[in-house]
C-alpha cells in the first residue's frame, strides 16, 4: 500500500487538549509530496461544472474535488488515484484506530455499544458505497481556496464539522511560491459557560477562545476527532494570487455523534445577527461605490492644483 499520512504515527502522538488531535510535519515522504504537487489536476478541471453563473468565483471560495471524482476522471494522474485509494481503505481506518482508538472510545462510547469492538466498524468509499454496505464512509477530497484579491478574508471562522463526521484530517500542500500570511488553522475552546452561541454549525466568536494555531505549511497534517468540543476555524488570509491547497480526509457515519440543537441561538438572535451582517456588507459595498465615485474628482482637483 502507498504510504499514508498515518504510516509513521503512534497513539502517543495524540495531543489531548483542547480536543484529541495530531500535528505531523513531513507527514508523507518528500518525493511523494513532490509528485502530488507536480501532478495536481488543473484547476480548470476541478472547476468544471462549478462555475459561478454570475461571473468569476468570489475570492477565498472553497472548491473541492471528491475522492470518487478523482478516481473516475481519466485525466487525473495515477499518483492521485493511488493516494485516494490508500486513504479511503479499511487499512487506513485500521491505522486511524491504532492512533485514536482510545480517544474515540472515550468521546463516543455509543459506538462500542452499537458495534462492540471498534475494529468491527466497516469502512467504505463515500459516494460509491452506502451505509448499507459500510458503517463509516471515508473520503479524500482535493480542496482549493481561490486567491484573495483585496481585503483579507477567512474562508470559514469558528465552527463545528457535521455531527456525522468521526474525524477530519487536513494535509496541507502549500505552493512554495506562496508567501502570503494567514489561512492557518485555529483550535478553540469555549469561553465560560460551555457550548452555546451556535447558528447552525457556526459559532459566535465571543463564545470561543483560540488556543492553538497550526500554520498552513506544505506536508503538514492536522487530524482531529470530531465532537461537541472540536471547535476550529481558519485565520484571515491576506491578499495573494495563490490558491490555498490541501487534502481533506473525512469519515462519516449515518447517525450523528452529537446533537447541536440545545446550543443554538434563539431564532430572534439569529435574525438580528444575520441582519447585522447584511447591513455590514451593504455598508462595505456602499463605501466601495463612494470611493470609486470620488476618485475622479480627486484626480481633477490635484491636476487643477
Cβ atoms within 10 Å of 244's Cβ, excluding its own: 25
276 pLDDT higher than 60: no
Going by pLDDT thresholds of 50, 70 and 90, the confidence category of residue 44 is: confident
Interatomic CA distance for residues 73 and 180, integer angstroms: 32
pLDDT at residue 275 in the model: 57
Angle between helices 90-107 and 78-87 (to 10 degrees): 40
Q: Return the half-sphere exposure (C-beta side, CA atoms, 13 A cut-off) of residue 91.
A: 11
Beta-carbon contacts of 104 under 8 Å, excluding residues fewer than 6 positions away, are 97, 111, 118, 166, 225
98 pLDDT higher than 50: yes
Residues of the chain with pLDDT > 90, as a percent, come to: 68
pLDDT at residue 195 in the model: 86
Interatomic CA distance for residues 237 and 182, integer angstroms: 4
Three-class SS of residue 160?
Answer: coil
Going by pLDDT thresholds of 50, 70 and 90, the confidence category of residue 298 is: very low
pLDDT at residue 54 in the model: 57
Q: What are phi and psi of 159, to 5 degrees?
A: -165, 170
pLDDT at residue 53 in the model: 54
pLDDT in tens, 169-211: 999 999 999 999 999 999 999 997 788 889 988 998 889 999 9
Amino acid at each position: 500500500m502507498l504510504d499514508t499520512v498515518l504510516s509513521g504515527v503512534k497513539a502517543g502522538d495524540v495531543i489531548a487538549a483542547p480536543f484529541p488531535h495530531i500535528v505531523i510535519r513531513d507527514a508523507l515522504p518528500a518525493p511523494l509530496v513532490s509528485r502530488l504537487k507536480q501532478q495536481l489536476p488543473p484547476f480548470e478541471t476541478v472547476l468544471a461544472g462549478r462555475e459561478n453563473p454570475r461571473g468569476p468565483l468570489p475570492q477565498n471560495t472553497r472548491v473541492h474535488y471528491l475522492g470518487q471524482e478523482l478516481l473516475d476522471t481519466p485525466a487525473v494522474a495515477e499518483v492521485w488515484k493511488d493516494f485516494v485509494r490508500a486513504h479511503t481503505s479499511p487499512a487506513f481506518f485500521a491505522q486511524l484506530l491504532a492512533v485514536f482508538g482510545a480517544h474515540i472510545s472515550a468521546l463516543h462510547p455509543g459506538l462500542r455499544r452499537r458495534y462492540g469492538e471498534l475494529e468491527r466498524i466497516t469502512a467504505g468509499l463515500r459516494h460509491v458505497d452506502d451505509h448499507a454496505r459500510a458503517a463509516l464512509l471515508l473520503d479524500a477530497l482535493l480542496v482549493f481556496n481561490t486567491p484573495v484579491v483585496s481585503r483579507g478574508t477567512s474562508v470559514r471562522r469558528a465552527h463545528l464539522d457535521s455531527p456525522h463526521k468521526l474525524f477530519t484530517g487536513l494535509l496541507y500542500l502549500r505552493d512554495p511560491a506562496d508567501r502570503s500570511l494567514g489561512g492557518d488553522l485555529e483550535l478553540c475552546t469555549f469561553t465560560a459557560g460551555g457550548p452555546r452561541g451556535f447558528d447552525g454549525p457556526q459559532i459566535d466568536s465571543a463564545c470561543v477562545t483560540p488556543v492553538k494555531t497550526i500554520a498552513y505549511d506544505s506536508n503538514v497534517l492536522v487530524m482531529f476527532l470530531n465532537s461537541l468540543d472540536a471547535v476550529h476555524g481558519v485565520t484571515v488570509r491576506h491578499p495573494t494570487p495563490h490558491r490555498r491547497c490541501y487534502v481533506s480526509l473525512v469519515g462519516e457515519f449515518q447517525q450523528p455523534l452529537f446533537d447541536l440543537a440545545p446550543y443554538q441561538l434563539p431564532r430572534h438572535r439569529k435574525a438580528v445577527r444575520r441582519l447585522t451582517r447584511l447591513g455590514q456588507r451593504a455598508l462595505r459595498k456602499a463605501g466601495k461605490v463612494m470611493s470609486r465615485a470620488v476618485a475622479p474628482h480627486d484626480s481633477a482637483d490635484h491636476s487643477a492644483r
